[in-house]
Amino acid sequence: MADASDADRQAVEPDAGEVLSVSQLNDRIASVVQDTPALNSVRCIGEVTDLHQNSTALYFTLTDGDAELPCLLWANRYREMDADLEDGTEVILEGDIDYWVEGGKIDLKPWEVIVVGYGDQAAAVERLRSELEERGWFEDEQKQQPPAFPERVGVVTSLRGDARYDIQNAIHEQDPTADILVKDATVQGSEAPTSIANGIHHLDRSEDVDAIIVGRGGGSDSNLQAFNTERVAEAIITSNTPIVTAIGHTDDRLIADQVADIATITPTAAGEYIVNSREEFLASEVKPLEQHLEAEYETFQQEHEHEQELAEAVGEAAAPEGVAPVYYKAAIAVLLLLLLLITGLWLGVI
């Protein structure tokens, strides 16, 4: 642009030290995106993930396994297309890269969608799922029941993630006395499967860990791929310690969830599940039993005291009478004297 105007040049070369508002900066980014020919009419191949829609548009992420790009397809345009999109569909999209100024987000808005087939990643997950199902890894017989009152809970997650604190807080909310052992793990990316599996093995070998929570916060399907791997599934199925998954997502089709003894949909839910509420248990189990014991003993005691009183009364009634009245004794004495007199007369003594 040899004869660019001053205004144009200013847009490209801002004053050094100039402080922009977020809106101004986002406007500037939008201009760059809009005015870059390389970002218009692009064609991109990838796999559809995290598809959701409303009456206005379809929102999904296009991924090649290493990188992701948010996409937005207007609903009226989609209805005109001969394309049926779902998670795992491999597509070639043609459209423009757009920058949403208010939200500060970039996305691809396709006007053309060519369905290539079913994505490699999704197909691989389905193959693994079928294989593990054949091995019986999803069977209920394989499931262990976590204890209701664990002394120590193991957690495999990122030490720096929110999930770790959600789990911790939920556990201590229910039972402040439970100990928690947090094993740091990489929960996304190519290192994640090994890291998560090693974390599970490590805690499983700790004899004093009563139950293990494996989890992370929500994320795109690609972010959660580690939980769809054989490495993690194997660590879960071979664990002697009961495993509860706590992966923040709405899709219940993660392989780790299917293999786990218990699957919960958020880290908080896992924390709440893994320990019984101490207060609730006292109120619902211990206190009523205490009251029952006291009531039963009171009844027992009253019955026995009543019986004792009756026995005493019977005893008193059966006991010999006390000293006879004086006149009765006198009568006996007179009778004895008479007997002696008669005897005397009869013997001719008198």
Partner 1 sequence: MANDAEIHDRLSRVEEIIGQLDADECDLEEGTQLHEEGQELLAEVREILDEGSGEVVELE
> Which positions touch partner 1 (CB under 8 A)?
147-151, 159, 168, 172, 175-184, 202, 208, 210-211, 278, 281-282, 285-286, 289-290, 292-293, 296-297, 299-301, 303-305, 308
Closest approach of Cβ 267 to partner 1, in Å? Answer: 15
Q: Give CA 279 to chain center in angstroms.
A: 19
Closest approach of Cβ 290 to partner 1, in Å? Answer: 5
Kindly tell me which of 100 and 149 has the beta carbon lying closer to partner 1.
149
**Residue closest to 165 by CA, chosen among 248, 224, 263, 258:** 248
Q: Where are the beta strands (DSSP E) in the chain?
A: 42-53, 57-63, 68-74, 89-100, 105-118, 152-157, 179-184, 211-216, 243-247, 262-264
Closest approach of Cβ 325 to partner 1, in Å? Answer: 40
Kindly tell me which of 85 and 185 has the beta carbon lying closer to partner 1.
185
Closest approach of Cβ 150 to partner 1, in Å? Answer: 5
What is the C-alpha separation between 264 and 266, in angstroms, rounded? 6
Residue with tokens 């029941």: 145
Taking the CA atoms of residue 224, residue 228, residue 229 and residue 233 in that order, the dihedral angle to the nearest 10 degrees is 120
Kindly tell me which of 286 and 331 has the beta carbon lying closer to partner 1.
286
Helix extents (H) in 35-156? 75-80, 120-135
Closest approach of Cβ 269 to partner 1, in Å? Answer: 19
Kindly tell me which of 209 and 269 has the beta carbon lying closer to partner 1.
209
> What region, left, alpha or beta, does residue 57 occupy, with left being phi > 0 and alpha being psi -120 to 50 degrees?
beta
**Residue closest to 49 by CA, chosen among 27, 65, 33:** 65
What is the C-alpha separation between 65 and 22, in angstroms, rounded? 32
Closest approach of Cβ 163 to partner 1, in Å? Answer: 14
Closest approach of Cβ 304 to partner 1, in Å? Answer: 4
Kindly tell me which of 103 and 176 has the beta carbon lying closer to partner 1.
176
**Residue closest to 152 by CA, chosen among 87, 205, 212:** 212
What is the C-alpha separation between 184 and 157, in angstroms, rounded? 6
